[in-house]
Structure 1
Amino acid sequence: MDRRRHPRVPGGGAAHRDRLRPRLRPRRNPLVTDATTAAAETADGFAKRYGRPPLGVWSAPGRVNLIGEHTDYNDGFVFPFAIDQRANVALGSRDDRLVRVSSTFAPETVELHLDDLSPESLAGWSAYPLGVIWALGQFGADLTALAGVDLHISSTVPVGAGLSSSAAIECSVALALDEHWGLGLDRPTLAKVGQLAENRVVGAPTGILDQSASLLSHADAAVFLDCRSLDAEVIPLGLAADGLSILVIDTNVSHAHATGGYAARRASCEAGAATLGVESLRDVHVGDLDRAATVLDDETFRRVRHIVTENQRVLDTVRTLREHGAASIGPLLDASHVSMRDDFEISVPEIDLAVSTAQANGAIGARMTGGGFGGSAIALMIDALVPVIERAVRREFAEQGYREPTIFVVRPSEGARRDS
């Protein structure tokens, strides 16, 4: 095998639809609550809803994709990390077969019998946790033999920002139910459970990036993921030691990926692969692009070119990080944004302004993150430049008449876990 073109590396994902309402986005920086406090608050919310304490509280993080956008559903490479905003779920047992789900972001408690779970029966915000239960049944859980549960969910992951608030909920619920029901599923399988819920129940045609990042991440590290083999390797980032920060600039332009542009981009990729006679765009390499240009229409070619070059950028980012450290990956982040903006056409003016302003004020590199059509940009910078770039972005957004962005530093953090 040609190791240069087909390195054995780890497995991944893309971004998707967040349908939780109302929005959980504070005007300024989202509050990062310590694990003990968050667990206690979620347990207290459970007790108020259900009149008894929970058996435990589990949590899972949102994620930032450092690089590798829309490559996951093309069997390619991605490089995400978990962030320090998390979804929490408190769980209590039942002696019947009902499932009840409540949350801090919706007034109602949704109740459903385990026998009635199906993709067609689920809708709204509760489709995320209930969809996970249905998906567990597709991965071997005998739902006919299990007792029901009560769940109460809270989250500090901003919704609609491209930070995977929905995967955080899915993964916290999956981990909690796996332990409570004694299913014995490993984390890569739980990631597949979350992806299936996302695809079949929510209706978002996404890859496995988000759930893998939420379940597999470690502190101050990113997950190098091969989305074909699902091999995963945790790569240290060394941001703290190098005095670097990653700033998230949430444009407050909400996105929704279950329909529209996201699905159209996936269809273009599938059409390009079919025309080129390959299983997926993972099998097309930079050296093949000249031939691809002769057989594809212009739009499909540009979609294909983004995926092919983005896969290479992920590999180059990991190599550069290992050899030279995070301070050297800036040009790859910048090139990724240009490709998403011009070839894949998933950026918006607010994102482009955030990226260009960060670059003009000293960022090492900046790019859109997530599935696109809104959401967030990220910028890598030395710690001292965080307030400088934040002020500059706010000023430029105000001058352009855009909504005030929500800007905050994210720390690469631990994946899903039990907190109490």
Structure 2
Amino acid sequence: EYEYFPFKLDGYKLVLVDSKVKHELVDSPYNKRRASCEHVAKTLGIETLRDAELADLDRIKDQISEEDYKRAKYVIEEKQRVLDVCDALQRGDYDTVGDRMYKTHEGMSKLYEVSCEELDYLNDIAKECGVTGSRIMGGGFGGCTINLVKDELYDHFIATAKEKFNAKYGHEPQVYEVIVSDGARRC
């Protein structure tokens, strides 16, 4: 039987910190990112980037735009990060989970370019506060970060995030503690 989330986050909390920046995807920058990835896959002669490695991408670097290269690099690297996190969760290795969360955020910000100033700032605050991991949650272009926080750092992180974010942007972020469960099901 498959369990949705069989991991216990003993000693940790998951918390969403909402920047309150509304993401507007009307003319869908995601379509442009998807098109970049599809172009790279086509250039590589494969259906999707899940079948590509960084060496493959580097081999065609001179045949694609710098933007397409960055988008594809993020996707290819993210594929490995997901696998790393799955393995780390099985082992209860939350330091690796957190490291990959930060690397995902960096890739989404610098390579895939779906972050925004406010989300990057929340991610920086998390690092400063010693939060184990932090990354964009959802589609980016606004919205939330999700943070893996040791229980003993939780109150300090939340207070610091609210104070610093308010000082910089004129409003506090909204905080939502996440309850990890095995998902909705029929009783």
Do the two structures share a fold, i.e. TM-score over 0.5?
Answer: yes
Distance 1:271 1:403, change over 3 A: farther
SS in 2 for 1:366: strand
Q: 1:370 — aligned with what?
A: 138
Q: Name the one with the larger helix percent.
A: 2
Distance 1:393 1:292, change over 3 A: farther
Separation in 1, partners of 2:170, 2:36: 31
Contact 2:40 2:69 in 1 (8 A): yes
- The AA in structure 2 aligned to 1:330 is G
Separation in 1, partners of 2:23, 2:99: 26
Q: 1:321 — aligned with what?
A: 89
Q: 2:121 — aligned with what?
A: 353
Q: 1:251 — aligned with what?
A: 19
Provide structure 2 residue ranges, at least 5 long, that are not aligned to the other structure. none
Shift of 1:402: 4.3
Q: 1:299 — aligned with what?
A: 67
Q: 1:265 — aligned with what?
A: 33
Shift of 1:275: 1.9
Separation in 1, partners of 2:3, 2:33: 27
- The AA in structure 1 aligned to 2:41 is A
SS in 2 for 1:377: strand
Contact 1:244 1:381 in 2 (8 A): yes
> How many residues were matched structurally?
186
SS in 2 for 1:354: helix
Contact 1:261 1:373 in 2 (8 A): no
Task: Look at both structures and tell me which one has the larger radius of gyration over its CA atoms.
Answer: 1
Distance 1:217 1:254, change over 3 A: farther
Shift of 1:393: 0.8
Task: Give the TM-score normalised by the residue count of structure 1.
Answer: 0.42
Q: 2:56 — aligned with what?
A: 288
Contact 2:44 2:56 in 1 (8 A): no
Contact 2:17 2:144 in 1 (8 A): yes
Shift of 1:341: 0.4
The question of 1:238 aligning with 2:12 is answered no
Q: 2:176 — aligned with what?
A: 408
Separation in 2, partners of 1:262, 1:282: 18
The question of 1:311 aligning with 2:79 is answered yes
Provide structure 1 residue ranges, at least 5 long, that are not aligned to the other structure. 1-215, 222-235
Runs of 4+ that moved beyond 4 A:
none
Deviation digits for residues 338-383 of structure 1, max 9, x if unmatched?
A: 1100000000011001111011101011111111111110111111
Contact 1:355 1:378 in 2 (8 A): no
SS in 1 for 2:60: helix
Task: Give the TM-score normalised by the residue count of structure 2.
Answer: 0.91
Separation in 2, partners of 1:414, 1:315: 20
Deviation digits for residues 115-162 of structure 1, max 9, x if unmatched?
A: xxxxxxxxxxxxxxxxxxxxxxxxxxxxxxxxxxxxxxxxxxxxxxxx
Deviation digits for residues 213-247 of structure 1, max 9, x if unmatched?
A: xxx973xx1xxxxxxxxxxxxxx2220xx211111
- The AA in structure 2 aligned to 1:362 is G
Contact 1:251 1:376 in 2 (8 A): yes
Structure 1 vs Structure 2 CA RMSD? 1.8
Shift of 1:267: 1.6
- The AA in structure 2 aligned to 1:238 is K
Q: Report sequence identity in percent.
A: 35
Distance 1:329 1:414, change over 3 A: closer
SS in 2 for 1:329: helix
Shift of 1:324: 4.4
Contact 1:245 1:386 in 2 (8 A): yes
